[in-house]
Structure 1
Amino acid sequence: MSSLEDLLDTPQIQFNTYLGFGGHLTKGLHLLPNGQELVYAAGNQIAFLRIQEKPDKEKLNKVQPLTRRVGGGAAPPRQRAFGGTTNAPQASRILTSTQKKPVFEEPETLDVPPQEDNNIIVPGSLVRPVLVSGHKYPITAMSLSASGKYLISGTQSPVGAPAEIIVWDVEQKKPLNIQKQHKGSITDIVISPDESFFVTLGEDNLMVVYPISAEYHHPLYTPLAGRQFVTPKPLTAMICVNPNLLIIGGDDFLTFVSVDLKGRTLSDNPVRVPIRRRYSCFKLVGDFVYGGTEQGDVLKIDFQKQTALQSCPSKKPFVGAVTSIVGNDQNNVICSTTAGRVYLIRTDTMTPVSSNEIATQTGASQATATTSALQLSAASLSAASPLARCVSANATGISCMATCENSKYAYAIGPNALARVNKSSLESRLLQTAPPTIVSPAGIQSLSTPIDTSRIYVSGCGSFVSVWSSQTGVELLRINVPNVFCNCVQLTPDGSQIISAWSDGCLRSFAPQSGKTIFCLQNVHAGGVTAFSLSRDGAFCFTGGEDSKVCVVDVCTQQVLQVCSGHRGRINSVTTQLVANNQQELVTGCQSGFVQHFHIIQQGNQCQIKPIWNSRAEGDVKGCAELEDGSQVIACGSGGLTWFSCGKNAGAVVRALPLVAGGTSLCKEERGDVCKIVIGCADGHIFVVDWDTGKIEKQLCVFCGQVSTCCVREGTVFCGGVDGGIVSFDLWE
């Protein structure tokens, strides 16, 4: 395929599950007014996720003693601090075991909503979002209108190109218009309360107003007015208080902008606040605006008098920067921080009355005493990562919170987790985790499944190795090796070990249930182990590294049996294949484009590889595979797909297929005489190609950036991207 136009008629793949979200964005999560559907950014995709839940009857029927007294010492401290008084001292009465019917059949008998989270999330529902495409670059900011009719998203600005702004119809899930007015990435987007216009703010400190209703007699969604702010540092946050007033904040910068769109005039009134602050978010609750700061406090702002009144806490600030603010039913506010905590603040006294640590870390077993991904500093982000170039991004704790009037919960999202928070009690529940790609510039580096099932899979991401359930999306185990990166991971055929290759040149083996280290073989390759594959019985491991060498390792004795040269540059692919007469063969590909083919000679406790042929492909080689009959080898890389002949014309190029973007990963599966190839590309495309004809049969594009790895088992394909997403689909349907 030489151009994108050639792919227009290629059928789209319907994926089964998608795991991952842009949890690093401080303005990337919203809850629809019905309180049952989340909207969040996933790379350059908009994801709509319905929260499917059912009541936990066992919890609702649980008998509890009558010990509550409103205003007395027996009441929990948080219950007394919710704000406001009550004239019904028995309103929180709990029914006893003498009741005739269970509580869940008569919820109306309780005047006060239960503070405990009594709902069960339907297993697997959180990994099946509806993904909507439209953006070319990663999303940096989103805004949802009050009625839930419009969703507006903005992207980062690549070098030499403007940022994209798309207006979406939420009900139809389709774009209405696209604008490109900013030279820098989009910092914030707000929609007026009456849904008559929306405003975008960019890194270039340019504010642009666009109409979304016909009352201004101006073409919809096109710029109506704008204002360039002169300040040495980028503006960071914005809020539309009413159709006539905007508040914009930055680093020691706070201004009130009066809006007259019928006269097409904007006038601002900068205000000097007594304390120097960098504003990260704003929220209108009641008659006041509350602004969160990166210094760790919340300011109460009177927008009518255009002045700041109070700050909370008054003395020692919260730990971490304030990333998001939401209101609850008592007109109090809840703020989240980069330290992973939420605080309930009484708005009348501006004092924090309760706090809780949100479960933004994985609920899986921690295999080692290690540093959490949410506690790593933003300095660990590499400039090579697309996430590092996003504005309004956060690498730790809670990045964003969202709620609505019809929900008793607020939803909190972090770099690798999604949690639910009770707006009154701050009780939290972890809903879903995702790979911690915020700390890995390469995203998902490797995926692997057991040899006999596709119900679970293993991922390597940064310094983490995780075991996942493919059906529910639950993270079953997380293993962390600090200060190194996992380049490749596989399960042994008997499922007794997880063997992984690391950037420090080590091979590490872990128990798949406990995560305990079985062995660590050091100094296998200078510069790091970049790829490996196991023999059919799992007794031997064939590795490739940065040093351009191929090694044979005895897994049982942890000894290097053989070292082979011949490649030039980093070895990107090492695959084994069982061919006729139970003979095993090995194919390797490297950065310089060389492909080598070996016989595997295995006798008892000894194993060695013997070269058969070597050849060269166009560009580099990222992935290799061999047919079960041993007649052909295929390689993918920057030059596309290349088929090599084995046997008599060993190493001869049979044919080549150019791709829209360079190939970055490859896997294949055979059924009878038919073989399908799955190709991952640098632009995020996934192609299913027929081996014999070389025809692209299906395509899928859900990743922002390259597809870094793919594997297939029992007809189920798993692909991982540099943006941290993992997608699965059926190969043969």
Structure 2
Amino acid sequence: METEINDLIVESINGFDGVVPGGLQVHPDGEHIVYPLGCKVVIQNWKTKVQTFLTGHTNVICAVSISKEGKYVASAQVNHMGHKATVMLWEFDTLKLVTKHEIHKVRVESVIFSCDSHYLVSLGGRDDGNVVVWDIKESEALCGCPASHGVAGDAVLLCPTSRHPLNFISGGDVTLKLWKMEPEKRHVSYVDIKIGTLKRHVICSVVDAEDEYAYCGTTSGDILKIRLNYRSGSAAGVNPVLEGCYAKIPKKKLAEGAEPSERYSKGVTALTLLTEKCTTKIVVAAGDGTVELVKERSSPVSLKKSALRLPTTPKLVALKSAKLDSGATSVKIMRDEIIAGTDQCEIYTINIATFNVSLHITCHTDAIYDLTFPYKCSAYYATSSKNDIRVWDAKALKELLRITVLNLTCASIVFTCDGKSIISGWNDGVIRGFTRRTGKLQFDIPYAHNLGVTALAITLCGSRLISGDGEGLIRIWEMKPNYQKSLASLTGHSDAVSSICISNSGTEAVSACTDGTCIIWDIVSGDTKRATRPILGQVMQQLLPRFDFHLMVHIL
């Protein structure tokens, strides 16, 4: 009789893909955040931290959007060259897939909803370059059009208007357009936003609540203010125009001949608007981690004649400022806080009143090479990656400790049996030991291996450490509080050692290699007891009585 095996259900995912521009979204209910993580869209209750997932994408998600009233969530993905990229429309309350289309090629840069949630607009990447309007009610593509033309570069973003459901803005490398949908004609048209001879690469944009102005952040570190001219009757042919190209007014007195404006370092990467007492202020996020609350100076700035010819005008006054550890790619307002996602996959909150910064969600920015729990403890665990080791609270999903060794990769980690120390193996061939609570370096074993340390295991008593490397060499170390001594070097594998497990008795160890072999060693005498290219069932029957189950699963 066959045993029924149930699928594993994902309870929570600790992580955030901060590389996606504008990927962190706040739901209109003010209680949930929505963000991409690999092939899933995560919906998280900000207070309870309970997560639900939208599952269906087959590749990395590159764009996320929420409709104005919060009924729908849209997501889009990257695909392999020559294949279509999928855009999916989800219902927020039921988590069900409403519809999807595969019209774009390879990649989708941006997705947005019209302000009345009747239309979903998507922008293809460099291999596609088209804007596609999708009728949500009819579940069909309404129309499409190339996003750029002539000498203009690629468009990279879409921005909806706030009060005109048939309009939206696109921007990119020397391209900025206002679009108009014509559903009856199944057509979409655009007018170029007139910015004169100014050349800018727009990477983020936001429109005010009255559709009077649009603000566009650029890679040059300044902000374009666009007058949309709806009140002047854009339907009658009055095109949107550039009101000004603004930067900050410097706080310090500038040297003679210096530019009178202060631009944001590494570009303006995210924008959002904050309305207080009928006054609109701008939350600006820059690529260097700066997040500022600014307002336009009402009185004109007196400039020298030479400065009048400069394209950037100093007109933004910084009211409050905060500094994040990395560049922000998303900023949103959630009640009385600014929530920001960064390119180092971290989520911060900034109190609007005090501008104090709090770190909430972190994760590795590169591949995770190893994960381990302490002996007979499931309250916390450790992971290893490029540049760092991190210790996590398993229940709260919070980072407890980060141990950083720059420009190196940690391929293997293990806790000592008492849980007080973390022993790690690095690609420079050094074995390093750290304290679990403070991350202080306790010891290091230089030149432990020639081709990087790829696997580690330690006996229950803590007196023996076994390590493996990229050449297949196994070494046994005597561990003492004041010194570490090599006892034996064992050969038998022909490729990198992927895992090592020590028996409960502490006299035997089994090592697994990437060439498909397992070897059982007598670690007392250093002899080979058995070498085999095993079949799963045989290995489990032979080794389970002597080795921990969870470690054997890791090996196989």
TM-score interval, normalised by the smaller of the two chains = 0.7 to 0.9
Displacement of 1:160 in angstroms is 3.3
SS in 2 for 1:524: coil
1:295 counterpart (195, 220, 237): 220
> 1:310 corresponds to which residue?
244
Check 1:626–1:297 CA distance in 2 against 1; reply closer, same or farther (3 A cut). farther
Query: Aligned ranges for residues 618-697 of structure 1 at < 5 Å?
Result: 627-630=543-546, 668-669=549-550, 677=553
1:445 counterpart (347, 351, 369): 369
Answer yes or no: is 1:324 the counterpart of 2:270.
Answer: yes
> 1:284 corresponds to which residue?
207
Displacement of 1:224 in angstroms is 1.1
CA contact (8 A) 1:506 1:522 kept: yes
SS in 1 for 2:523: strand
Query: Aligned ranges for residues 410-489 of structure 1 at < 5 Å?
Result: 410-414=338-342, 415-430=344-359, 432-437=360-365, 440=366, 443-489=367-413
> 2:501 corresponds to which residue?
575
CA contact (8 A) 1:253 1:272 kept: no
Check 1:263–1:425 CA distance in 2 against 1; reply closer, same or farther (3 A cut). farther
> 1:689 corresponds to which residue?
none
Answer yes or no: is 1:157 the counterpart of 2:98.
Answer: no
Q: TM-score, normalised by structure 2?
A: 0.84
- Identity of matched residues, %: 23
> 1:13 corresponds to which residue?
8
Displacement of 1:347 in angstroms is 4.4
Paired AA for residue 398 in structure 2: V
In structure 2, how many angstroms separate the alpha carbons of the residues matched to 1:510 and 1:625?
Answer: 36
> 2:285 corresponds to which residue?
336
1:27 counterpart (22, 35, 50): 22
In structure 1, how many angstroms separate the alpha carbons of the residues matched to 2:422 and 2:467?
Answer: 15
In structure 1, how many angstroms separate the alpha carbons of the residues matched to 2:514 and 2:37?
Answer: 30
In structure 2, how many angstroms separate the alpha carbons of the residues matched to 1:599 and 1:282?
Answer: 65
Paired AA for residue 403 in structure 2: I
CA contact (8 A) 1:588 1:624 kept: no
Q: TM-score, normalised by structure 1?
A: 0.65
Check 1:679–1:40 CA distance in 2 against 1; reply closer, same or farther (3 A cut). farther
Query: Aligned ranges for residues 586-605 of structure 1 at < 5 Å?
Result: 586-601=509-524
1:284-320: CA deviations, max 9, x gaps? Answer: 1142111111222221111224112122316221122
Check 1:352–1:157 CA distance in 2 against 1; reply closer, same or farther (3 A cut). farther
In structure 2, how many angstroms separate the alpha carbons of the residues matched to 1:588 and 1:679?
Answer: 8
Answer yes or no: is 1:351 the counterpart of 2:338.
Answer: no
Displacement of 1:275 in angstroms is 2.6
In structure 1, how many angstroms separate the alpha carbons of the residues matched to 2:353 and 2:206?
Answer: 18
In structure 2, how many angstroms separate the alpha carbons of the residues matched to 1:530 and 1:615?
Answer: 20
CA contact (8 A) 1:285 1:333 kept: no
1:316-363: CA deviations, max 9, x gaps? Answer: 2112222211111222110212211211121464513224224x55xx
> 2:526 corresponds to which residue?
609
In structure 1, how many angstroms separate the alpha carbons of the residues matched to 2:24 and 2:78?
Answer: 17
In structure 1, how many angstroms separate the alpha carbons of the residues matched to 2:506 and 2:227?
Answer: 78
CA contact (8 A) 1:587 1:625 kept: no
1:227 counterpart (125, 130, 145): 145
CA contact (8 A) 2:16 2:363 kept: no
Paired AA for residue 38 in structure 2: G
In structure 1, how many angstroms separate the alpha carbons of the residues matched to 2:346 and 2:370?
Answer: 20
Deviates most, 305-314 or 291-300: 305-314
CA contact (8 A) 1:534 1:541 kept: yes
Displacement of 1:626 in angstroms is 6.8
CA RMSD of superposed structures (Å): 2.6
Displacement of 1:10 in angstroms is 4.7
SS in 2 for 1:504: coil
> 1:500 corresponds to which residue?
424
> 1:85 corresponds to which residue?
none
Displacement of 1:486 in angstroms is 0.6
In structure 2, how many angstroms separate the alpha carbons of the residues matched to 1:471 and 1:609?
Answer: 41
In structure 2, how many angstroms separate the alpha carbons of the residues matched to 1:184 and 1:344?
Answer: 37
Displacement of 1:617 in angstroms is 4.9
In structure 1, how many angstroms separate the alpha carbons of the residues matched to 2:214 and 2:395?
Answer: 43
In structure 2, how many angstroms separate the alpha carbons of the residues matched to 1:451 and 1:309?
Answer: 64
> 2:191 corresponds to which residue?
269
Higher relative contact order (CA 8 A, sep 6+): 1
Displacement of 1:618 in angstroms is 8.2
CA contact (8 A) 2:459 2:506 kept: no
In structure 2, how many angstroms separate the alpha carbons of the residues matched to 1:550 and 1:248?
Answer: 58
> 2:61 corresponds to which residue?
139
- Where does the alignment leave 5 or more consecutive residues of structure 2 unmatched? 230-238, 249-260, 299-314
In structure 2, how many angstroms separate the alpha carbons of the residues matched to 1:17 and 1:268?
Answer: 43
Number of residues paired by the alignment? 501
Displacement of 1:422 in angstroms is 3.0
2:34 counterpart (34, 39, 51): 39
In structure 2, how many angstroms separate the alpha carbons of the residues matched to 1:485 and 1:626?
Answer: 34
Check 1:267–1:402 CA distance in 2 against 1; reply closer, same or farther (3 A cut). same
Query: Aligned ranges for residues 201-216 of structure 1 at < 5 Å?
Result: 201-203=123-125, 204-213=128-137
Displacement of 1:669 in angstroms is 4.3
Paired AA for residue 142 in structure 2: L
In structure 1, how many angstroms separate the alpha carbons of the residues matched to 2:493 and 2:383?
Answer: 27
Displacement of 1:483 in angstroms is 0.8
Check 1:258–1:444 CA distance in 2 against 1; reply closer, same or farther (3 A cut). same
Check 1:239–1:615 CA distance in 2 against 1; reply closer, same or farther (3 A cut). same
In structure 2, how many angstroms separate the alpha carbons of the residues matched to 1:629 and 1:194?
Answer: 64
Check 1:463–1:25 CA distance in 2 against 1; reply closer, same or farther (3 A cut). same
Answer yes or no: is 1:200 the counterpart of 2:122.
Answer: yes
- Where does the alignment leave 5 or more consecutive residues of structure 1 unmatched? 1-5, 53-124, 214-218, 362-373, 375-396, 602-607, 634-666, 671-675, 681-733
CA contact (8 A) 2:498 2:555 kept: no
In structure 1, how many angstroms separate the alpha carbons of the residues matched to 2:16 and 2:370?
Answer: 18
In structure 1, how many angstroms separate the alpha carbons of the residues matched to 2:316 and 2:152?
Answer: 33
Displacement of 1:262 in angstroms is 1.5
Check 1:613–1:50 CA distance in 2 against 1; reply closer, same or farther (3 A cut). same
SS in 1 for 2:471: coil
Check 1:679–1:211 CA distance in 2 against 1; reply closer, same or farther (3 A cut). farther
CA contact (8 A) 2:152 2:174 kept: no
Displacement of 1:206 in angstroms is 1.0
CA contact (8 A) 2:500 2:555 kept: no
1:591-639: CA deviations, max 9, x gaps? Answer: 22121111221xxxxxx532011112589xxx99974424xx9xxxxxx
